[in-house]
Amino acid sequence: MGNKIDLLTGGQTDADDALDLELQARSVLAPGKEFVAVSAARGWGLQRLKEAITATVGDELKGIKVRIPYTNATLVNVFRQYGHVAKQEYDGEGTVIQGRIPSRLEPRFRAYRIR
């Protein structure tokens, strides 16, 4: 992310030039990488920044209830670290967790899902 992108031209850039300025900045500051040019003062790129943050960090959280065997404590830690635990209990078979996890992690928990 590049903030204060409007200052690269002494603040003389208008909104029509913002995309061109972003492309230029990307080629110099982050070639071949994800880059969002932002000028909070002028309101440029704020929606794109929000979308990039959501795509990178804010995966859609999915509600799930799982029973993870005691032999797989690492997966319990993954749930705790990246998800939100609403309820956690222990039974004879493992750790039962109800909560929300990022959708990208759901396949790792699929085999342990319970109703």
* pLDDT score for 10: 57
* pLDDT score for 31: 59
CB 70 within 8 A of CB 94: yes
Q: Give dist(CA 71, CA 51) in Å, integer.
A: 38
* pLDDT score for 24: 63
* pLDDT score for 71: 96
How many other CB atoms are found less than 10 A from the CB of residue 65? 15
Cα distances from 71 to residues 32, 61, 86, in angstroms, run 42, 26, 22
> pLDDT truncated to tens, each residue of the chain (115 aa)?
555 555 556 555 555 566 666 666 665 555 556 667 777 777 777 887 777 776 666 558 889 999 999 999 999 999 999 899 999 999 999 999 999 998 889 999 999 999 8
* pLDDT score for 36: 75
* pLDDT score for 60: 80
Q: What DSSP string describes the chain? A: -B--GGGGGTT---GGGHHHHHHHHHHHHSTTS---B-BTTTTBTHHHHHHHHHHHT-PPEEEEEEEEEGGGHHHHHHHHHHSEEEEEEE-SSEEEEEEEEEGGGHHHHGGGB--
* pLDDT score for 99: 95
**What pTM value is reported for the model?**
0.52
Residue type (1 letter), 63: G
